[in-house]
Amino acid sequence: MDLDNPFRTPTEDSSGNAVSSNSIRIEPFQVRASGFHCRVLTEAQVSEMLAKELATFCGEQGFEIINGKAQYTIKGEIVKIDQGNQLLRYLLPYLAGEAMVEIHGEVVQGTHSSKTFHIKKTFSMGVFGGSSKGMIKDGLRLAAMKIAADAGLVGHQTSGLKRGGSGGAALDPMNTWLYLGLVALAALIAALIVGNVANGWALAAPERHDGIAMEDRGGWVLLQGVLAFISILFGGLAAAPDSVLKSSGMIWLRANAGVKSIIAQRILLGILCAVPILLAHLSKLLM
């Protein structure tokens, strides 16, 4: 806090000029020369790619990207870029030749560090060993997703940043949690209904000679309820509005899962929704 003006708000710079509460500046990430082992991209290309991805994902978080004085600043260093060896990845997947992207830095509010980050992404397998250039690009993209998610969390905690970006209607974190809570409630209700139906089906099993032992019925009914809960939960997430999937928590999960787009995330969640349904049909054989 400035002692000359103790009542200055966080949205003013040291000269008293207003600074947008959702503005962010992305400083160029320097590449550590000793950690750069890449022939398919130059240091400048790597730094530029990361900056572009950061701008995209910070925009999704609701930030205004500016070059001047900003409420928040992202700065850091690209510690390591290693393209690995495509032939070794092809011959010995997960064992040798891995490509690597490693980045560290911080999200700064004003002049104070609000959150540090250290991200390390490795890629050990791909079609015919995987393209080294493609793996590095994927690593930079996933790193940018996590950094932007961290910045979004800081922005929400300090200034109530509205998320959602220009790609759709903004949805604040409270509404995001409300949606997730409603999905969880729907999943719980579905689990209770399915469990009740499964219990009735299990009680009638001896009449149909299904062969479900009495001591196994309780566990089987519980399993049906749990599978129904998981299926509805993933189904609700797959059908969530873009603004929910662009929230910091969902972007963080997407980055950790290695999923690069919202469409791919919806497909993955849809698959996870279908798997419990299949297991429910097979569960009697598994008992």
Asked if residue 29 and residue 143 are part of one domain, the reply reads yes
Q: Which of 107, 124, 159 is the last residue of a domain?
A: 159
CB within 8 Å of 79: residues ≥ 6 apart: 32, 35, 102, 103, 104
Strand partners, 116: 106
Average pLDDT over residues 149-175: 60
- Asked whether residue 200 is domain-assigned, the answer is yes
Asked if residue 186 and residue 94 are part of one domain, the reply reads no
pLDDT in tens, 66-111: 988 888 999 999 999 999 999 998 898 888 899 999 999 999 987 6
Q: Which of 103, 130, 159 is the last residue of a domain?
A: 159
Q: Which of 106, 127, 159 is the last residue of a domain?
A: 159
| DSSP string computed for 90-116 | HHSTTTS--EEEEEEEEEEETTEEEEE
pLDDT in tens, 242-251: 878 877 677 7
CB-based contact 180:186 (threshold 8 Å):
no
Instruction: Give strand ranges (E) for 110-223.
Output: 112-123
Asked if residue 142 and residue 191 are part of one domain, the reply reads no
Please give the model's pTM, rounded to 2 decimal places: 0.63
Asked if residue 177 and residue 139 are part of one domain, the reply reads no
Asked if residue 198 and residue 110 are part of one domain, the reply reads no
Range(s) of the domain holding residue 248:
173-286
CB-based contact 121:255 (threshold 8 Å):
no
- Asked whether residue 235 is domain-assigned, the answer is yes
